[in-house]
Amino acid sequence: MKRSPGNKETCWLVLEPYAHPVIAGNNVLIYNSISGVKLEFRDSPGISRLAGDLTDPSKGFAAAVDPGNESSEIKGFISALRGSYSGDIISSRDGIRPVVIRPRPVMLNYPPPADYQDFTIGDYLRNIYFFLNASEEPSAAGYTHAMKQFPCMAYDASGYSELPASAVLNNYMPYDGISGLGMDLTGADLTRYSQLDDLLPYLKKLISPIICHIPLPCHDPEAVEKLIRLKNCRVSFYVTLPSGPALLPELMNKMFFQKTKKRFDFNFVIRSLDEYNMITGLLPGIGLEKVFFLPYYSGENFEFFRDNIFLSKDDILGSKPDQRQVYSRQVLNEHSFGKLYVMPSGEVFPNLNGEPLGSVYNESIPGLVRREVTTGNAWNLTRMKVQPCSGCLYRFLCPPIGNYERSMQRFNFCDIL
Ligand code: SF4
């Protein structure tokens, strides 16, 4: 144990509760989630060891230091911590360790024990996506992999299929009104769904918000009008080239669109820089309000992703996750958590890039949710669990793993590792 020269006091280095260390071999990052300051130290076994002590409960989250006699490297570390209000020195007599309490990531009721008596899906479930139909059409349009990346244009090589309306109602109505729960209706193209008119009177009675995900072009534009008449409904269009943008002026001239335009989103699906440039050239003349660009990975446009979608080091260092995000990113995947996908076959997935949990024809929604939160691995897929992110200093700074990464089975959308 080190003591300050000339007295019997011991100096202890401690971190502030909002300073989060990440250690990867001899590299250390300290992230201050209040100020956003990132301190990075490379190739230093001494700093790595010290940072390890600061995060070790068996060491009381404190490391004895001798500020006047440490190496210049350690002095620099201490000074950087103190200068950024990320850590400090505490003195004590007779070598007594200070009491340091560090917060740790704990989420209420998560993960619950398998026999948790007070289990309620309201604690976990956020959206149920019902894929009302699937078809081979997305392959003709060049979007075979779309549903692995965003919830629309469901592809089924074996042909057209539909989820019965009764399966939608039986598996949603009992939970309607749960705070925070929403219904998403989608498919290959839900305007082609043969039971839409049967479903509408029930949808009208729902308390939950409904989002309808519809490709443009779609089979039946009049179905869009029926859906947007539901007061709790939004429509999210997935506009594809070449013919989607040309349909927009006519849509925007419709009376129902004029009255409800704040409830429409437009996702422009792009596969290349040329498509992006084409759409940005068209947009000023169209005058839409809520516009998003949705990159589509076709299996053949990796360069487009690498050049335009990957995060640069500047992007990553420019991010400032707050304390809650730093903790949640260690425990669960914020993009995926709470979402169930019901396919026309009745199979239910926690994420469409993985295995099904079961079927709505054999099991209840609460049973399926319980399975995912107790033994599943989709809602809790964090960067701590995948290579190379688990060994990367920036694993809390990067956004949670998204569907593009899952579908490509490549988790480093970056130029770091
Ligand atoms: S390797 Fe993973 S954690 Fe590291 S910067 Fe890249 S995406 Fe982020």
Residues 368-407: tens digit of each pLDDT: 999 999 999 999 999 999 999 999 999 999 999 999 999 9
CA distance 32 to 322: 9
pLDDT of 340 over the 60 cut: yes
Is there an atom of ligand 1 within 6 Å of 389 CB? Answer: yes
- Residue nearest to ligand 1 atom 2, measured at CA: 389
Atom of ligand 1 nearest to the CA of 388: 1
What is the per-residue pLDDT across 355-379, written as a single tens digit (0 to 9) for each? Answer: 999 999 999 999 999 999 999 999 9
More confident residue, 94 or 191: 191
Is there an atom of ligand 1 within 6 Å of 80 CB? Answer: no
User: What pLDDT score was predicted for residue 7?
Assistant: 56
| CA 23 to centroid of ligand 1, rounded, Å | 14
- Specify whether the CB–CB gap between 371 and 111 falls below 8 A: no
CA distance 105 to 101: 13
Half-sphere exposure of 335 (CA within 13 A, CB side): 18
CA distance 233 to 146: 23
pLDDT of 268 over the 90 cut: yes
Is there an atom of ligand 1 within 6 Å of 316 CB? Answer: yes
Question: Band of the pLDDT at 113, cuts 50, 70, 90?
Answer: confident
pLDDT > 90 in the chain, percent: 87
pLDDT of 414 over the 50 cut: yes
Q: What are phi and psi of 371, to 5 degrees?
A: -65, -40
What is the per-residue pLDDT across 210-265, written as a single tens digit (0 to 9) for each? Answer: 999 999 999 999 999 999 999 999 999 999 999 999 999 999 999 999 999 999 99
Is there an atom of ligand 1 within 6 Å of 416 CB? Answer: yes
Taking the alpha carbons of 239, 241, 244, 248 in that order, is the dihedral positive or negative?
positive
The mean pLDDT of 70-85, rounded to a whole number, is 97
**Helix spans in 128-263 (H):** 137-140, 146-149, 165-170, 196-205, 221-228, 248-253, 255-260
Phi-psi region of 95 (alpha: psi -120 to 50; beta: other; left: phi over 0): left
CA distance 402 to 257: 32
Mutation choice for ligand 1 from 389, 413, 415, CB with most ligand atoms inside 8 A: 389
Phi-psi region of 94 (alpha: psi -120 to 50; beta: other; left: phi over 0): left
What is the per-residue pLDDT across 295-304, written as a single tens digit (0 to 9) for each? Answer: 999 999 999 9
Mutation choice for ligand 1 from 38, 335, 387, 412, CB with most ligand atoms inside 8 A: 412
User: What pLDDT score was predicted for residue 1?
Assistant: 45
Question: Band of the pLDDT at 114, cuts 50, 70, 90?
Answer: confident
DSSP assignment letter at 204: H
| CA 319 to centroid of ligand 1, rounded, Å | 13
Burial string for 80-109 (b: 16+ CB within 10 Å, else e) reads bbeebebbeeeeeeeeebeebeeeeeeeee
Domain boundaries, the chain: 9-93, 121-309+338-379
One CATH from 3.20.20.70, 3.30.1130.10, 3.90.180.10, 3.30.2350.10 for 121-309+338-379: 3.20.20.70
| CA 193 to centroid of ligand 1, rounded, Å | 41
Half-sphere exposure of 269 (CA within 13 A, CB side): 29
